């Protein structure tokens, strides 16, 4: 794939042999472990350990499924004639020279196209510069004021409404394209079912030893090629070409589905609000009783119409008209009585606009809060009107009714691709570096970026789990689930460092015995598992990725808990944009890796204590040495954090690599 | 390029008639016509699809955007006399559950 001769990949039959061996030995080991070897007396560590081991084996099986059908595509056919293309350079707050450098390279792409800077920072100097260089400049329209902005997804959705190219090349502000990028990728769209062509993300500001694990050559290589084999190549947010028709079709059908859900939920909430208002009501106030009853009857009527399949637009139009009549009649009277409620209702609209609640009124948590509040009768009527208005066909809660890029997650790319696959579109992974990017250069930015990816993936898992989404094939479900599953590794990592510490320090053994049968089942599995990685990533150092998938356990755990809190409890995600510049504070940022340093300290102390217990004859030598070996392996893995903390960015004189140096990125 | 016919009926209903196609190429002009009608005080709008052979998803997006503008102005946007292809794409995207096309412009309001 690169200009120089790349290491030739392993033949597919060899990969499959390695996968089969891993499956057989892995299942053989874990079944035996569950049935015959768990030390139930120490269940509090034995059960976590066997669960963690089971997790890892499922992870290996999913990886094996991915690489079973590695698809190595060659060059694409020639581009479809007269293809019209918009090139989007997305930016929020990156330095101007960085954006400009990318925009100029985008403008100079050979295939005919129009170039646009999608400036979420709305910077006038960038607008003027773009105009002077023949580049378009797009900022958010008025509609986005006081409405959820949806970060990058919102930025692109906004631009989609203002452009008309048949295809869209999406570039992050720090991904500089080569002039041939469109000539080499558009040809895949001659298949009318192809909606997406993703190319690798490759970073030029990363030294060979890649201390921050920035390159993800196993992901932008065998993993994406494997997913491609199952028609599940992922969209990764940048360096990808999309078909507008597919995106718009997605947006329109999501609109149809979401409007229906939103209207149904709003009607249901209205029903509850009215019912409780009716109970509070003094029966003597006949005027209000009649009004509430009238509106409640309209709500029931609207719900019945929906159940009968009457078109939504007709249901809501008639409903609105009739409610307005009732409501106007009443509100004209004693306004003071409802002022307090009106303020709360205004607050409700504000809450709807918050980023924390990306589904806005679709959010059941928010609706529940609304329905539990005790409203005055007039307040109840206004609430109903506001609720229905917010979810009316115009989706007043959102800046634009049609949102082609998914907004359910801070990583819009994965959710969008999954929905496209569910609608029957195809995707392509084109394994050729056609853009050169910049990776974060310090540990803090790197951690923020990984957290964001992991959180986004977890949001999708909780909101639209691929195992239950309609329309996906079984392999596609597994491909999406596999990536989500890999982000759960943080919990397993905690167990993997705790178990040896407990044994060395207190002699707690989570398995019944360290028998020869135990080792006879475990060691062959570990060996073939490593062999599988070796074969799949032939000529590719997979070590850095293996390290980070374990070492970043605090990040992975936080991603799961924060996404859970966000999706199910309506909490903020603390989302932040990945910074592209180094922070102002200088010096090693040891505090960023405190949990890892504590783990390393505990491991070292545990080895010392184990040695003491061995010396005084209190411990079983085999057990001690096996656990010391385990600890040394853990320490070797964790040692990368020292390198990462001390890393000061690339040396200026370092020759940037001109071709991918693949390393593993089990956490893309 | 005049690919739309825009008229206002005696009842004050605006009629937009896309000629031939309503696609990503013409969607922005369609939105402009709807905005002009609403700006001129006509918020009840019918899109006459009898002469429209092809609508793509961007065209549907423009219809939804028009519906939004009309509703916000206190009116409505309705579809009339769709061709077979348009019915197909409406049902493919489930938009037929939202918008029920009327048989003719006269039936729309």
Which of A472-476, A531-535, B70-74 has the least mean pLDDT? B70-74
List Cβ neighbours of B8 (8 Å cut-off, separation of 6 or more): B14, B15, B37, B42
Comparing A592 with A320, the larger pLDDT belongs to: A592
Q: A610 near A624, Cβ under 8 Å?
A: yes
pLDDT band at residue A663 using 50, 70 and 90 as cut-offs: very low
Kindly determine whether residue B58 and residue A245, on different chains, have CB atoms separated by under 8 Å.
yes
Point out the residue among A251, A313, A394 whose CB comes nearest to the CB of B72: A394
The predicted pLDDT at position A520 comes to: 93
DSSP β-ladder status, B44-48 and B76-80: parallel
Chain B residues with CB-CB distance to A471 below 8 A: none
| Domain membership flag for residue B14 | yes
Which residue, chain included where needed, has tokens 């003719």? B104
Q: Is residue A354 pLDDT above 60, yes or no? A: no
- Has residue A335 got a pLDDT over 60? no
Average pLDDT, chain A: 87
Task: Report residue A486's pLDDT band, with 50, 70 and 90 as the boundaries.
Answer: very high
Q: Which helix (H) or strand (E) holds B14?
A: strand B14-18
Select from B86, B7, B12 the least CA-distant residue to B50: B86
Q: How confident is the model at residue A654 (pLDDT cuts 50, 70, 90)?
A: very low
Count of structural domains, chain A: 3
> B89 lies in a domain?
yes
**Separation in Å, CA of B18 to nearest CA in chain A:** 17
Contact with chain A for residue B35, Cβ under 8 A = no
* A536 and A421 together in one domain: no
Most confident of A199-203, A364-368, A580-584: A199-203
Q: What is the mean pLDDT of residues A180-184?
A: 97
Distance from the A567 Cα atom to the nearest Cα atom in chain B, whole angstroms: 26
Higher pLDDT residue, A320 or A643? A643
Region A90-107: mean pLDDT is 96
pLDDT digit string (tens) for A430-440? 999 999 999 99
A311 and A245 belong to one structural domain: no
Q: Which regions of A351-441 does DSSP assign to beta strands (E)?
A: 426-429, 435-437
Q: Which residues 52-71 of chain B have a CB within 8 Å of chain A?
A: 56-58, 60-61, 64-65, 67-69, 71
- Predicted confidence (pLDDT) per residue in A452-468, tens digit: 999 999 999 999 999 99
Strand ranges of the sheet holding A435-437, from the earlier edge strand across to the other edge: A175-177, A435-437, A202-203
A398 assigned to some structural domain: no
Residues A375, A340 within the same domain: yes
Residues A136 and A229 in one domain: yes
- Asked whether residue A219 is assigned to any structural domain, the reply reads yes
Does residue A416 share a domain with residue A354?
no
Share of chain A above pLDDT 70, in %: 86
Contact yes or no for B76 and A313 at CB 8 A: yes
pLDDT at A352 over 90: no
- Domain assignment present for B105: no
Q: Per the CB < 8 Å rule, is B68 touching A401?
A: yes
A236 shares its domain with A286: no
**Same-domain status, A499 and A585:** yes
What A581-588 contacts at long range (C-beta under 8 Å, 24+ apart), as own/partner pairs, is A581/A95, A582/A441, A582/A442, A582/A445, A582/A649, A583/A442, A583/A444, A583/A445, A588/A645, A588/A646
Chain A contact present for B97, CB below 8 A: yes
Q: Is residue B55 part of a domain?
A: yes
Test B61 with A396 for CB contact under 8 angstroms.
no
- pLDDT tens digits, B39-76: 999 999 999 999 999 999 999 999 999 998 898 888 99
How does pLDDT run across A51-77, given as a tens digit for each residue? 999 999 999 999 999 999 999 999 999
- Cβ–Cβ < 8 Å for A127, A137: yes
Q: Is residue A506 part of a domain?
A: yes
First to last CA, chain A: 20
Average pLDDT, chain B: 92
Asked if A514 and A623 touch (Cβ cutoff 8 Å), the reply is yes
CA atoms of A575 and A153, how far apart (whole Å): 14
Cβ–Cβ below 8 Å for A393 and B67: yes
Task: Report if residue B17 sits inside a domain.
Answer: yes
Q: What is the pLDDT of residue A581?
A: 53
The answer to whether position A59 is within a domain reads yes
Residue A668 has pLDDT above 50, yes or no: no
CB-closest option in B57, B58, B65 to A401: B65
Q: Which residues of A touch B27 (CB under 8 A)?
A: 164
A293 inside 8 A of chain B by CB: no
Question: Per the domain annotation, does B62 fall within a domain?
Answer: yes
Give CA–CA dist B28/B21, Å, rounded: 13
Residue A610 in any domain: the answer is yes
pLDDT at position A325, please?
A: 79
What confidence score (pLDDT) does residue A374 get? 61
Closest CA in chain A for residue B93? A253
Confidence of residue A333 (pLDDT cuts 50, 70, 90): low
CB < 8 Å from B in window 531-570 of A: none
**Domain presence at residue A3:** no
Q: Rounded to the nearest 10 degrees, what angle do helices A286-307 and A244-280 cross at?
A: 150
Please tell me whether residues A115 and A200 are part of one structural domain. yes
* Option in A162, A314, A396 nearest B100 (CB): A314
Q: Are residues A576 and A487 in the same domain?
A: yes
- Note the pLDDT of residue A361: 46
**Residue A399 covered by a domain:** no
Range of the domain at B70: 4-97
What's the mean pLDDT in A194-213? 95
Same domain for A269 and A244:
no
User: What is the rounded radius of gyration, in angstroms, for the C-alpha atoms of chain B?
Assistant: 12
- Contact check, Cβ <8 Å, A253/B99: no
Chain A interface test: which of B55, B71, B88 (most A C-beta within 10 Å): B71
Distance from CA of B44 to the nearest CA of A (A): 12
A422: chain B residues, CB-CB within 8 Å: none
Which residues of chain B make contact with A247, given a CB cutoff of 8 A? 57
The reply to whether A495 and A590 lie within a common domain is: yes
Which residues of chain B make contact with A248, given a CB cutoff of 8 A? 24, 56-58, 60-61
Q: What are the tokens at A629?
A: 């070996």
Where b means 16+ CB within 10 Å and e means fewer, A115-125 reads bbbbbbeebee
Q: Does some domain include residue A638?
A: yes
Chain B residue with Cα closest to A263? B98
Pick from B25, B68, B95: CB nearest A252: B95
Confidence category of residue A232, pLDDT binned at 50, 70, 90: very high
The whole domain housing A372 covers 263-390
Q: From A312, which residue of chain B is nearest by alpha-carbon distance?
A: B98
Mean pLDDT of A296-309: 91
Residue A667 has pLDDT above 50, yes or no: no
**C-alpha–C-alpha distance, residues A560 and A600, integer Å:** 23
In chain B, which residues have their Cβ closer than 8 Å to the Cβ of A245? 24, 56-58
Residues of A in contact with B25 (CB under 8 A): 164
Q: What is the CATH number of the domain that holds B91?
A: 3.30.750.24
In the predicted structure, residue A665 carries a pLDDT above the cut 50: no
Interchain CB distance below 8 Å, A393 and B65: no
Query: Is the pLDDT score of A356 beyond 50?
Result: no
Within 8 A by CB and 6+ apart from A641, the residues are: A551, A593, A596, A597, A600
Predicted local distance difference test score (pLDDT) of residue B56: 94
Query: What percent of chain A is modeled with pLDDT above 90?
Result: 64
Judge whether B3 is closer than 8 Å to chain A, CB to CB.
no
Number of domains in chain B: 1
Per the domain annotation, does B42 fall within a domain?
Answer: yes
Q: Give residue A207's pLDDT.
A: 92
Q: Which of A128-132, A259-263, B71-75 has the highest mean pLDDT?
A: A128-132
- Is residue B106, in this structure, part of any structural domain at all? no
Non-local CB neighbours of B109 within 8 Å, separated by 6+ positions = B11, B13, B44, B46, B76, B78
Which tens digits make up the pLDDT trace of A599-640? 999 999 999 999 999 999 888 899 999 999 999 999 999 999
Residues A205, A301, single domain; the answer is: no
Residues of A in contact with B94 (CB under 8 A): 253, 256-257
Q: Which residues of B touch A328 (CB under 8 A)?
A: none
């Amino acid at each position: 794939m690169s200009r120089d001769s790349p290491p030739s990949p392993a033949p597919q039959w060899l990969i499959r042999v390695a996968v089969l061996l891993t499956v057989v030995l892995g299942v053989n080991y874990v079944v035996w472990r569950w049935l015959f070897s768990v030390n139930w007396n120490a269940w509090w560590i034995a059960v976590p350990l066997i669960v963690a081991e089971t997790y890892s084996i499922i992870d290996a099986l999913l990886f094996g499924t991915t690489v079973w059908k590695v698809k190595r595509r060659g060059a694409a056919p020639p581009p479809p004639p007269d293809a019209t293309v918009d090139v989007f350079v997305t930016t929020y707050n990156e330095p101007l020279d960085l954006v400009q450098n990318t925009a100029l390279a985008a403008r100079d792409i050979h295939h005919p196209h129009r170039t646009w800077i999608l400036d979420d920072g709305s910077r006038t100097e960038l607008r003027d510069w773009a105009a002077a260089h023949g580049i378009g400049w797009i900022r958010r329209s008025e509609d986005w004021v006081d409405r959820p902005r949806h970060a990058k997804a919102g930025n692109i959705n906004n631009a989609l409404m203002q452009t008309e190219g048949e295809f869209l090349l999406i570039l992050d502000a720090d991904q500089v394209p080569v002039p041939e990028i469109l000539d080499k990728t558009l040809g895949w769209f001659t298949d009318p079912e192809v909606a997406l062509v993703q190319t690798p993300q490759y970073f030029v500001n990363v030294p060979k030893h890649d201390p921050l694990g920035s390159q993800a050559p196993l992901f932008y290589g065998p993993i994406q090629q494997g997913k491609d084999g199952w028609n599940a190549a992922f969209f990764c947010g940048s360096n990808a070409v999309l078909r507008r028709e597919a995106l718009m079709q997605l947006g329109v059908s999501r609109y149809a589905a979401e409007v229906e859900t939103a209207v149904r939920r709003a009607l249901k909430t209205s029903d509850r609000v009215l019912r409780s208002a009716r109970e509070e009501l003094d029966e003597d106030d006949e005027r209000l009783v009649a009004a509430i009853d009238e509106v409640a009857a309209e709500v029931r009527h609207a719900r019945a119409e929906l159940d009968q399949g009457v078109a939504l637009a007709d249901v809501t139009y008639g409903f609105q008209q009739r409610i307005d009549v009732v409501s106007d009649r009443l509100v004209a009277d004693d306004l003071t009585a409802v002022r307090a409620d009106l303020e709360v209702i205004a607050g409700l609209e504000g809450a709807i606009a918050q980023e924390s609640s990306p589904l806005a009124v679709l959010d059941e948590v928010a609706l529940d809060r609304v329905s539990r509040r005790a409203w005055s009768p007039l307040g109840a009527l206004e609430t109903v009107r506001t609720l229905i208005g917010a979810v009316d066909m115009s989706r007043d809660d959102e800046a634009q009714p049609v949102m082609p890029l998914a907004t359910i997650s801070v990583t819009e790319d994965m959710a969008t691709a999954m929905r496209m696959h569910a609608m029957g579109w195809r995707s392509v992974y084109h394994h050729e570096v056609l853009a050169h990017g910049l990776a974060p250069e310090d540990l803090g930015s790197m951690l923020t970026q990984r957290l964001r990816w992991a959180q986004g993936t977890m949001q999708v898992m909780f909101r639209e789990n691929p195992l239950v989404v309609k329309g996906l094939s079984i392999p596609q479900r597994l491909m999406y689930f596999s990536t989500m599953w890999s982000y759960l590794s943080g919990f397993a990592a905690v167990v993997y460092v705790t178990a040896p510490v407990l044994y060395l320090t207190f002699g707690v053994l989570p398995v019944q015995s360290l028998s020869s049968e135990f080792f006879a089942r475990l060691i062959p599995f570990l060996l073939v598992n490593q062999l599988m990685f070796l074969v799949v990533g032939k000529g590719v150092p997979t070590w850095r990725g293996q390290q980070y998938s374990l070492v970043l356990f605090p990040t992975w755990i936080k991603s799961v808990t924060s996404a859970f809190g966000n999706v199910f409890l309506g909490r903020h995600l603390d989302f932040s944009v990945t910074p592209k510049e180094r922070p102002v504070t200088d010096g090693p940022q040891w505090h960023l890796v405190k949990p890892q340093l504590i783990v390393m300290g505990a491991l070292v102390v545990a080895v010392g204590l184990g040695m003491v217990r061995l010396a005084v004859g209190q411990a079983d030598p085999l057990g001690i040495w096996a656990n010391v070996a385990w600890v040394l392996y853990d320490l070797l893995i964790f040692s990368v954090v020292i390198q990462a903390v001390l890393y000061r960015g690339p040396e200026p004189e370092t020759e940037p690599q001109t071709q991918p140096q693949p390393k593993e990125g089990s956490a893309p | 390029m005049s690919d739309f016919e825009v008229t206002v009926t005696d009842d004050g209903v605006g009629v937009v008639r896309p000629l031939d196609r309503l696609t990503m190429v013409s969607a922005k002009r369609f939105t402009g016509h709807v905005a002009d009608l609403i700006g001129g005080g006509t918020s009840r709008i019918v899109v006459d699809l009898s002469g429209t052979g092809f609508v793509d998803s961007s065209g549907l997006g423009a219809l939804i955007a028009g519906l939004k503008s009309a509703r916000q102005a206190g009116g409505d946007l309705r579809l009339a006399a769709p061709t077979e292809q348009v019915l197909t794409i409406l049902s493919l995207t489930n938009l037929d559950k939202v918008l029920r096309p009327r048989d003719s412009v006269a039936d729309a309001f």
